[in-house]
Structures are given as C-alpha cells and as structure tokens.
C-alpha cells in the first residue's frame, strides 16, 4: 500500500489528479466561490434548475465527493442573479433559475476551466464508485484485465530499471525496443 505526504492510506488516491486545480486535491480542498459559480452556470445552461437540484446534481456528478451546502449554493445563485448572469422566477415557495445571455457569455469565457472541473467530477465519481464497490466486497469490472495490465507495467518498469546497469550498447537496444513499443501501443489506441 502506497502512503504519501501525510494523507494516510488513501494518499495515493488523493494525489493522482482526483481533485481540483492543476495538482489535484489536497486534504480538505473545497471549491472556491468563483469555481462554484461557474459550475452553476454550466448546469443552468443545460436546463433551468432549482437550488436543491443544483446541490443534488453536483453531488451526483462527483459521486458524493463534493456536496455543496445550501449555504454555499444559494448565496452563489443570489450573486449570479445580481451580476445578471442568472434570472429567477418564483414557482410558489421555490425559485427556478435560468442562465441569461450575460451568464452564457461569462461561461463562454471560462469554458475550458469549467470543462476541466466537470471532467474532474467525472473522474472522481468513477473512483468513488470503485471505492464503494471495493469496500462493499463487490468484484471490480475487468479486474483480471487490470491485474494483467498492472503486472505487465510492473515487468516493464523492472526491466527498465535493470537496463540502467547494462552496457551503453544494450541500453541503446532497449531504447529502440521501447520506442517501437510506444509507437505500437499508440497505433493500437488510434481508431
């Protein structure tokens, strides 16, 4: 089991690009208000939503890893409304929020950052699901395929470490083999 930088037994998971920002999540990292506002705009662009629906959607998309509180979402919605990025209409006791043209323009300026956050949420959700299945004792799909892949990766890493001690001629041959293997692998991945 890998342990890294004081995160305990799940440090490997936290450091492999699971979270937000360029280096993943650190312990206790939350979304900033600006990030949350952009995610809300992206969800409102998909369809008009109530505040509760936004909380539920963000929680589901992250597999339960990120569940914003009403104390975060409703002030963000109010702020977006004040900026003119969201419009609200009352439906009895509920409020339905829609993105405005100004909100679409703001979202357009930040599309890449928003997509990166949504992609992170998707990766987090997949990892959370695998963790749930693991702790529930369920078999992970294609575990045999993954273990074969891990074994092959381990064997390659070991062979490359051994090549460090080889003669320069042997190292050159290994380099040529690895270069061809990389090209073959990339070729296999290209549709």
Tens digit of each residue's pLDDT (9 = 90 or more) over 89-120: 998 889 999 999 999 999 999 999 999 999 99
125 is a domain residue: no
Q: 108 and 54 in one domain?
A: yes
9 is a domain residue: no
Does residue 36 surpass a pLDDT of 70? yes
Angle at 46 between CA 125 and CA 74, to 5 degrees: 75
Contact 106, 41 (CB under 8 A): yes
154 is a domain residue: yes
Q: 94 and 60 in one domain?
A: yes
Q: 169 and 108 in one domain?
A: no
Domain count, the chain: 2
- SS3 at position 82: helix
Query: Among 34-48, 69-83, 136-150, which stretch is predicted with the lowest mean pLDDT?
Result: 136-150
165 is a domain residue: yes
CATH number at residue 56: 1.10.10.10
4 is a domain residue: no
Question: pTM score, two decimals?
Answer: 0.58
- SS3 at position 2: coil
* E-strand stretches of the chain: 49-50, 86-91, 94-99
Largest CA distance in the chain: 79
Neighbours of 83 (CB within 10 A): 13
Instruction: State the residue range of the domain holding 56.
Output: 33-120
User: 23-53: string of b/e by CB count within 10 Å (b at 16+)?
Assistant: ebbeeeeebeeebbbbbbbbbbeeebbebeb
Q: 108 and 69 in one domain?
A: yes
Q: What is the pLDDT of residue 143?
A: 54
179 is a domain residue: yes
93 is a domain residue: yes
25 is a domain residue: no
């Amino acid at each position: 089991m890998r342990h890294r930088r004081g995160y305990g037994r799940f440090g490997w998971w936290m450091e492999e690009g699971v979270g937000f920002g360029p280096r993943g999540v650190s312990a206790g990292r939350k979304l900033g208000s600006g990030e949350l506002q952009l995610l809300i705009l992206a969800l409102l662009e998909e369809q008009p939503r109530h505040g509760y629906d936004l909380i539920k959607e963000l929680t589901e998309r992250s597999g339960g890893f990120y569940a914003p509180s009403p104390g975060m979402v409703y002030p963000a919605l109010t702020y977006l409304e004040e900026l003119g990025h969201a419009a609200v209409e009352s439906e009895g006791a509920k409020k339905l929020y829609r993105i405005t043209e100004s909100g679409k323009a703001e979202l357009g300026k930040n599309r890449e950052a928003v997509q990166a956050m949504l992609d992170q949420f998707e990766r987090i959700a997949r990892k959370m699901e695998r963790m749930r299945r693991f702790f529930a004792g369920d078999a992970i799909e294609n575990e045999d395929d993954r273990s074969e892949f891990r074994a092959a990766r381990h064997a390659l890493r070991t062979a490359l470490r051994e090549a460090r001690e080889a003669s320069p001629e042997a190292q050159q041959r290994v380099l040529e083999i690895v270069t061809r293997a990389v090209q073959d692998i990339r070729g296999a991945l290209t549709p």
